Amino acid sequence: MKKKILALDIGNVCVKIDPQNCADALGLTVLPEAIRGLCRDFEWGKAGDEDAVFARAAEILDNRFSAEKIKEAFNTILIEAVPGMSELVSSLPEMGVEAFFFSDISVTHLARTKELFPAFDCVKGGVFSFETGAWKPAETMFETFESRYGKPDLYVDDRKELIEAAQKYGWNAAIFAGAEDLRKKLTALS
C-alpha cells in the first residue's frame, strides 16, 4: 500500500504560537517595523545567519537589549506543543502516513520547534520559507514540496487563506481543527 503524504504546518498546528510574546518579553507594545522586516527577511533566508540577525536587531533597538536577550524573546513566540499533535504525529506510520513540514519559519524557530514538539523526529522532512525565500502561498513553496515529496494527500494549516490558496493550486487542504479532527481526516483518506 502506498503511503499517504501529509503536509503539516508548524505554527498553531504542531506548536502554539503568539507573535506578541516577543514584544511583551522585551517590554514593548509592538515591535518596530524595522524589526518586523528583519524577521520577515530571516524567515525568507535573506538576513544572514542567526548571530547576524540578532546583532542587527540589537542595533535597531539601540542596543537596549543584547542579541542573546532578543533571541530569547524571539523564541517566546513558540509556546508549547498543540495538545494531541505529538501523539498523533508519532502514530502516523501505523496509519500509513508520512508527514512533512510545510512552514513559514526561521532556522531559529525550527530549532525551537524541535525542542517543544516531541514528535519532531517522526516528521520525515520539510519545506521551509527560509529555504525557498518566500512565504506560503508563493508557488515556489508548493513546487518545492511537490518536487521533493510529491503532491500531498492532505495539507493542514490554521490559516484559511493558505488553505484556499492550496486548494486553488490543486491540493486537498483543510483547516486544522485539532488533533482528533485531523486523525479523522487522515482515516478517511484510506
Domain interval for residue 61:
20-76
Measured in whole angstroms, the distance separating CA 101 from the mean position of its chain's CA atoms is 7
Task: Tell me how far apart the alpha carbons of residues 72 and 22 are, in angstroms, rounded to a whole number.
Answer: 8
Same domain for 154 and 87: yes
Structural domain count, the chain: 2
**Exposure of 33 by Cβ count < 10 A (0-12 exposed, 13-18 middle, 19+ buried)?**
exposed
pTM for the model: 0.94
Q: Are residues 154 and 99 in the same domain?
A: yes
Q: Which pLDDT does position 2 carry in this prediction?
A: 85
Based on the fold, state whether residues 43 and 130 are members of the same structural domain: no
Looking at the fold, whether 31 and 12 belong to one and the same domain comes out as no
pLDDT of residue 1: 63
Q: Do 9 and 52 belong to one domain?
A: no
- Note the pLDDT of residue 75: 97
User: Quick one: 114 and 126 in the same domain?
Assistant: yes
183 and 165 within one domain: yes
Separation of alpha carbons 133 and 136, rounded Å: 10
Distance CA 70, CA 73 (A): 5
The per-residue pLDDT for 122 is: 98
Per-residue pLDDT of the chain (190 residues; tens, 9 = 90+): 689 999 999 999 999 999 999 999 999 999 999 999 999 999 999 998 999 999 999 999 999 999 999 999 999 999 999 999 999 999 999 999 999 999 999 999 999 999 999 999 999 999 999 999 999 999 999 999 999 999 999 999 999 999 999 999 999 999 999 999 999 999 999 6
Residues 8 and 100 in one domain: yes
